[in-house]
Amino acid sequence: MNNSIVPITPGLLALLSKGQSGISPFTQEIFLLEITVAGTTYAKNLEKVSDRIIPEQVLTMKREPANQYDKHAIALYVDDVRVGYVPANLNLVCSRLMDAGKLFFARIVQSHWDGDWLNVTANIYMVE
């Protein structure tokens, strides 16, 4: 058995990060805040992923600096479907850190339909 140290290259890191949690080994999840996802009423194609909007599901966070309503906008995705946004009153610090290259993700805490509104609570984590 070979016990040599393998350097972490960008290709290897991409391969490792494809795990269930989306987080590679030797990283730490730092809990930052709990949010109610904004804008779920306006999400298109939500029905494509509605069965996956469940507790523990990881949401990808993507910056939208060209968003016409909020220059600090951070969209939340399940696969390629936008579920909603980090609320505007809570996104400033995360957006600045994301713009500086920090990695973030969200994990669903709970979700339920409240009339025609999908109420989703999620925790936001920074990866360090």
pLDDT score recorded for residue 20: 47
What distance lies between CA 44 and its chain's CA centroid?
18
Per-residue pLDDT band for 1 (boundaries 50, 70, 90) equals very low
Residue type, 117: W
Q: What is the 3 state secondary structure string of 37-88?
A: CECHHHCCCHHHCHHHCCCCCEEEEEEECCCCCCCCEEEEEECCEEEEECCH
**What domains lie within the chain, and their CATH numbers?**
10-127 (3.30.70.2330)
Average the pLDDT over each of 21-25, 31-35, 48-52, 54-58 and give the range with the smallest value. 21-25
Residue 34 has pLDDT above 90, yes or no: yes
pLDDT score recorded for residue 128: 85
Helix/strand number for the chain, H first, E second = 2, 6
pLDDT score recorded for residue 115: 84
Mean per-residue pLDDT, 25-40: 90
- Pairing type for strands 117-127 and 29-36 reads antiparallel
